[in-house]
Every structure is written in structure tokens, then in C-alpha cells.
């Protein structure tokens, strides 16, 4: 990965850049569950001082993506299927609250316009899912849900849902990428792709329909990851 010039940005921004880059490395499977590294190794990799790196790693640890070991540095957290089930349940509960709120404020022009923008993001996510392009899908899927949850107007809830979705993708991507590498499997037609249907249900002010779509999504995701984990 390319280095980052620490003199060009303030420390807090640099810390966030490093945290984002490491998160993407985990999502991309280049940092695998259980893999260990030190502050010094990451600082040398990015060509920056140890302080923003340590802060970034502590941040990712607080998000549950890394584990800290006082004597050995940090390691990528290893999520279990039990963790994954709990994440799906939690994000489903949060989504239901958002759906009810969006349905209640459906007539507002600003919400309707924003849903059109979110739908375009969903179209990109759906195309990536149908093509089996996992890397592109993850990026668009996270943006889709971030923009959708932002319409709820509660930044704390939106941030909580975003972190949940990042963690659930981290858990899922391990099994998806290993399956592709070990069996030569193709993800086309395997990944969930009903993003636009979900937005359309919300635009029609049908929270129960949206709820049903997400229930199907979570069931599909859990069954897929359980099957791949068993394999």
C-alpha cells in the first residue's frame, strides 16, 4: 500500500486515513483473522510516525475489528458464526426503526429526493452483486446503507448501523473469499441484490414490505455463510 505523507495532514485526519486503509485491508482479505502486527510495522508500511498509527489501531480495536495484546501488538479479530447471527439480528432491529421513521415522513420532499439518490447507489450495489464482484459490492453496499440510515436524522444511530455492517462484512468476507480461492467458486448470482426493491418499498411508505425484504436478506446471508463455513 502507498505511504501517507504525515506532514500534509493534521494528526486526527492521518489517524482516520490509516484506520480507513486498515479497515479496507481487512475487508479485502489482505489482513486475515488472527493475523498479528505491531505499531512499528504499520508505521513503517505507511511511512508515518507511531502516534497516529497507535491511535488508529486503538480506534479499530474499540470497533471490534482488532484485538490488542499488550506484549505482542495487535491482531485481526476472529468473529464466530454466533457473532454473525447476533450482528444480523442487531442490524435488523435498527433498520426496522429507520424504516418506520422514513415511512412516517414519506411526503417530505427532501426525503423523497434523498431516496432517489440512495436508489442510484443501490443500483450500483445490485449490479456488483449480480456480477459477483465482492470488492465493489462491499463499497457500494456500505455507502448505500450509510446514506439510507442518514435520512433517519440520528447520526449516532447511523454510525452504529454502519459499524455493525462493517463488522458483519468482515465476518462474511472471510468465508466468501476463502470459498472462491479454495474451490474456484463464482459469486455471480450468490450475493443478495435487492437494494433497489428496498428503496422502492420505502418510497411507497411500506415499512412492512421493507421489513420483509431485510428479513429475507438476513436469512439469505446467514444461510450462505453457514453453508460456506461448513464446507
pLDDT, average across residues 170-193: 86
pLDDT (tens digit per residue) in 14-51: 899 999 999 999 998 889 999 999 999 999 999 999 99
Domain boundaries, position 62 = 6-76
| Confidence (pLDDT) at 6 | 45
| Confidence (pLDDT) at 55 | 93
Domain boundary among 24, 51, 76: 76
The total number of residues written for the chain in this structure = 231
Q: Same domain, yes or no, for 104 and 202? A: yes
Give the Cα separation of 118 and 179 in Å (integer). Answer: 31
- CATH number of the domain that residue 39 is part of: 1.10.10.10
pLDDT, average across residues 196-207: 92
| Confidence (pLDDT) at 11 | 59
Q: What does 168-194 look like in DSSP terms, one character per residue?
A: HHHHHHHHHHHHHHHH----TTTS---
Q: Same domain, yes or no, for 175 and 92? A: yes
Give percent of the chain with pLDDT exceeding 70. 92
Tell which wins on pLDDT, 6 or 164.
164
Q: pTM of the entire structure? A: 0.86
- CATH number of the domain that residue 122 is part of: 1.20.120.530
Domain boundary among 55, 76, 97: 76
Cα–Cα distances in angstroms (integers) from residue 79 to residues 32, 58, 62, 83, 171, in the given order: 11, 18, 15, 6, 6
Q: Which three cell numbers stand for residue 40?
A: 512499528
pLDDT band at 3 (very low <50, low <70, confident <90, very high): very low
Environment class of residue 202 by beta-carbon count within 10 Å: exposed (0-12), middle (13-18) or buried (19+)?
buried
Q: Same domain, yes or no, for 206 and 139? A: yes
The answer to whether position 1 is within a domain reads no
Count how many domains the chain has: 2
Query: For all residues of the chain together, what is the average pLDDT?
Result: 88
Q: Same domain, yes or no, for 13 and 86? A: no
Give the Cα separation of 229 and 143 in Å (integer). Answer: 27
Domain boundary among 41, 76, 111: 76
Tell which wins on pLDDT, 6 or 188.
188
The answer to whether position 92 is within a domain reads yes
Give the Cα separation of 195 and 122 in Å (integer). Answer: 5
pLDDT for 2 beyond 60: no
| Confidence (pLDDT) at 200 | 94
The answer to whether position 66 is within a domain reads yes
pLDDT (tens digit per residue) in 92-141: 999 988 888 877 765 466 777 888 889 999 999 999 999 999 999 999 99
Q: Same domain, yes or no, for 71 and 88? A: no
Q: Same domain, yes or no, for 108 and 160? A: yes
pLDDT for 8 beyond 50: no
**Helical segments of the chain, H only:** 11-27, 39-46, 50-62, 81-104, 109-131, 134-150, 155-183, 195-203, 207-230
Tell which wins on pLDDT, 81 or 186.
81
pLDDT for 181 beyond 90: no
Q: Same domain, yes or no, for 138 and 201? A: yes
| Confidence (pLDDT) at 166 | 95
Q: Same domain, yes or no, for 94 and 199? A: yes
Q: Same domain, yes or no, for 200 and 166? A: yes
In the chain the first and final C-alpha atoms are separated, in Å, by: 32
Amino acid at each position: 500500500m502507498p505511504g501517507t505523507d504525515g506532514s500534509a495532514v493534521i494528526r486526527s485526519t492521518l489517524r482516520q486515513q490509516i484506520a480507513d486503509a486498515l479497515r479496507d485491508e481487512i475487508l479485502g482479505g489482505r489482513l486475515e483473522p488472527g493475523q498479528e502486527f505491531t505499531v512499528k510495522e504499520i508505521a513503517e508500511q505507511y511511512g508515518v510516525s507511531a502516534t497516529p498509527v497507535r491511535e488508529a489501531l486503538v480506534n479499530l480495536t474499540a470497533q471490534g475489528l482488532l484485538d490488542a495484546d499488550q506484549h505482542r501488538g495487535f491482531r485481526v479479530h476472529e468473529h464466530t458464526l454466533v457473532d454473525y447471527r447476533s450482528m444480523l439480528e442487531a442490524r435488523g432491529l435498527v433498520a426496522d426503526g429507520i424504516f418506520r421513521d422514513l415511512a412516517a415522513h414519506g411526503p417530505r420532499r427532501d426525503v423523497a429526493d434523498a431516496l432517489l439518490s440512495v436508489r442510484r447507489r443501490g443500483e450500483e450495489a445490485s449490479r456488483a452483486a449480480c456480477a459477483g464482484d465482492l470488492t465493489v459490492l462491499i463499497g457500494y453496499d456500505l455507502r448505500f446503507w450509510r446514506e439510507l440510515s442518514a435520512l433517519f436524522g440520528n447520526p449516532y444511530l447511523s454510525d452504529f448501523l454502519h459499524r455493525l455492517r462493517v463488522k458483519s462484512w468482515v465476518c462474511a468476507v472471510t468465508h466468501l473469499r476463502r470459498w472462491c480461492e479454495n474451490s474456484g467458486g463464482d459469486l455471480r448470482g450468490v450475493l443478495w441484490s435487492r437494494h433497489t426493491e428496498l428503496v422502492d418499498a420505502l418510497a411507497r411508505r411500506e415499512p412492512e414490505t421493507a421489513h420483509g425484504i431485510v428479513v429475507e436478506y438476513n436469512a439469505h446471508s446467514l444461510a450462505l455463510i453457514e453453508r460456506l463455513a461448513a464446507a
